[in-house]
């Protein structure tokens, strides 16, 4: 099954307006008295509305870079900026609030809350921001209808297939209209056909909303749809020739 995604005209012409900037990012870990450096001073810009793919072998630092961009982890050196906010300048509470309000995450293992229904999982980011619950439920139901899960709104995650859970996770990441979507191997636990469906949905929804998407993946199918492709090799970020590299 070929992945086919069309970008709407409004998104096709992308502005050169960086929404993510990271400068000289280094991440090292201490293990048994030895320092292991995963990222070596990587620097890049990501333009608003772009779809950026991070490629690299397992353990190359793709997830580490996503975690640094998303404020889940802190660098050993360097800075991360999202829009006009320096994430590396924030304290832990400030980072938590920034992630809540401005970043949507899609993980390999779905990370749905098992004690909440599908509808409750989807509306959770909306409610955490203190937004109107009824508005959130209305919006969530429209999303669920769009992804073919309107009839599963009151089901719990363990009653859903892996593909269904990941579709719910995608909607949850988008419902509060974040500035940035970070996806870490979003199809890593899915079969090939289901992966195609999930990737198509993720790309369509982010394109339609004009959101910026950064994805770490092994999926070759998604590469032709990327605006920028980076390879992480030996801790360095290398842009692929022929893509709209934002590296500075």
**Is residue 18 domain-resident?**
no
**Is residue 135 domain-resident?**
yes
pLDDT tens string 36-84: 899 999 999 999 999 999 998 888 899 999 999 999 999 999 999 999 9
**Is residue 81 domain-resident?**
no
**DSSP label at 155?**
S
Cβ-based neighbours of 127, under 8 Å, separated by 6 or more: 133, 136
Q: What pTM value is reported for the model?
A: 0.86
Nearest alpha-carbon partner for 214 in 237, 195, 192? 237
d(CA 93, CA 132): 23
**Is residue 40 domain-resident?**
no
Taking 80 as the threshold, does the pLDDT of residue 114 lie above it? yes
**Is residue 21 domain-resident?**
no
d(CA 216, CA 196): 16
pLDDT tens string 137-191: 999 999 899 888 999 999 999 999 999 999 999 999 988 889 999 999 888 878 8
Q: What is the mean pLDDT of residues 101-113?
A: 90
d(CA 72, CA 64): 9
Q: Count how many domains the chain has.
A: 1
**Is residue 167 domain-resident?**
yes
Tokens of 145: 């209808």
Question: Would you say 119 and 137 are in contact if contact means Cβ atoms under 8 Å apart?
Answer: yes
**Is residue 5 domain-resident?**
no
Taking 90 as the threshold, does the pLDDT of residue 244 lie above it? no
Question: Tell me, what's the pLDDT at 130?
Answer: 78
% of residues, the chain, pLDDT over 70? 90
**Is residue 67 domain-resident?**
no
Work out the pLDDT band at 217, boundaries 50, 70, 90.
confident
**DSSP label at 218?**
-
Beta bridge partners of 86: 81
> What letters, b where the CB count within 10 A reaches 16 and e where it falls short, cover 110-123?
bebeeeebbbbbbb
* Domain harbouring 101, CATH code: 3.40.50.300
Question: Tell me, what's the pLDDT at 246?
Answer: 40
Residue 175 structural domain = 49-60+93-239
């Amino acid at each position: 099954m070929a992945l086919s995604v069309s970008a709407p005209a409004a998104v096709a012409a992308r502005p050169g307006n960086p929404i993510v900037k990271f400068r000289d990012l280094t991440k090292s870990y201490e293990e048994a008295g030895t320092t292991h450096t995963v990222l070596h001073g990587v620097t890049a810009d990501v333009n608003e509305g772009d779809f950026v793919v991070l490629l690299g072998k397992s353990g190359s630092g793709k997830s580490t870079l996503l975690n640094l961009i998303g404020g889940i982890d802190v660098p050993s050196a360097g800075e991360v900026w999202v829009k006009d906010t320096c994430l590396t300048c924030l304290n832990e509470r400030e980072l938590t609030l920034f992630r809540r309000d401005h970043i949507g995450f899609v993980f390999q293992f779905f990370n749905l809350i098992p004690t909440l229904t599908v509808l409750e999982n989807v509306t959770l980011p909306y409610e955490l921001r203190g937004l109107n619950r009824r508005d959130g439920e209305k919006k969530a139901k429209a999303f669920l209808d769009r992804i073919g899960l309107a009839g599963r709104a009151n089901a719990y995650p363990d009653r859903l297939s892996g593909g269904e859970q990941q579709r719910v996770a995608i909607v949850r990441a988008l419902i509060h209209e974040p500035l940035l979507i970070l996806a870490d191997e979003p199809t890593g636990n899915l079969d090939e056909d289901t992966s195609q469906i999930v990737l198509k949905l993720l790309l369509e929804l982010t394109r339609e909303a004009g959101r910026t998407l950064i994805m770490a993946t092994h999926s070759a199918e998604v590469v032709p749809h990327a605006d920028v492709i980076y390879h992480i090799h030996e801790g360095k970020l290398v842009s692929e020739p022929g893509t709209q590299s934002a590296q500075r």
